[in-house]
Amino acid sequence: MASDSPKQRWSTAEEEIMKATYRALLRHGYADLSISRITDELDKSKAAIYYHYDTKDDLLVAFLEFAVDRFEETIETETGDEPPEDIEHVIEKLLPLQPDEEQRQLQAVLVGLRSQAVTNEVFREQFTQIDERLAATVRNIVERGIEDGTFRDVDPSRVAEHILATVNGAMYGRVTTDRKSAAAAARVSLASYIDSELRRRS
């Protein structure tokens, strides 16, 4: 009942396994991930992993949740009451102009996991929900902007999907190509779009 002791999702051992999986994925990528390679990053044996997870698939599903949690923590967005700034804020969280190493790594791992969504239904459901939540966040901001008169009477859903697709695509390009300034260029153009197409002329 106390305010601390928040229901733990991961025991200490499990969290160590998740972190080792994270490091192994960074080093080898999803296609070359194996239990042995996770063990290489972990101060435990293979059998220890199988004590906590029945199969490799179970471990991967758990890791997907772990990575998604981390992702959604980093974009947790305390939303203000200035729609244009709120949108900028969300975009900066999703597609930082100058991402630090931690952000780049998490995105790289997520892209590896997300590609599995093509053939794995559990993964696809997770990423469907992620995009659903992100689109809803943007849509809500646009709706508020329309109500308070900051934004034109656009279709909030369409605009939200446009923004989400651009941000996702720019991030995708950032981790799968060497086109260093492409993501920033897309972001600048997106901001200018929001300003000119969304914002009501005064």
Partner DNA sequence: GTCTATAGGTTGATAGAC
Partner DNA sequence: GTCTATCAACCTATAGAC
Helices (H) and strands (E) in the chain, counts: 9, 0
- Residue 87 near a copy of itself by CB under 8 A: no
**Residue 131: enclosing H or E segment and its boundaries?**
helix 121-147
3-state secondary structure of 28: helix
- Residue 177 near DNA by CB under 7 A: no
What number of CA atoms fall less than 13 Å from residue 103's CA on the CB side? Answer: 14
Question: How far, in Å, are 8, 9, 11, 108 from residue 3 at the CA level?
Answer: 13, 16, 19, 35
Q: Show contacts with a copy of itself in window 161-180 (CB under 8 A).
A: 161-162, 164-173, 175-179
- Residue 36 near a copy of itself by CB under 8 A: no
- Residue 61 near DNA by CB under 7 A: no
- Residue 116 near a copy of itself by CB under 8 A: yes
- Residue 55 near DNA by CB under 7 A: yes
The least CB distance from residue 123 to a copy of itself, in Å, is: 8
Q: How many residues bind DNA (CB under 7 A)?
A: 20
The length of the chain, given as a count of residues: 202
The least CB distance from residue 52 to DNA, in Å, is: 6
Tell me if 38 sits within 8 A of 21, measured CB to CB.
yes
- Residue 196 near a copy of itself by CB under 8 A: yes
| Angle between helix 56-74 and 12-28 (nearest 10) | 90
Integer Cα distance of 181 and 163 in angstroms: 19
- Residue 26 near DNA by CB under 7 A: no
Q: Which residues bind a copy of itself (CB under 8 A)?
A: 28-31, 33, 108, 111-112, 114-120, 124-125, 127-128, 131-132, 135, 155, 157-159, 161-162, 164-173, 175-179, 182-183, 185-186, 188-190, 192-193, 196-197
Q: Which residues bind DNA (CB under 7 A)?
A: 11, 13, 33-37, 43-48, 50-52, 54-57
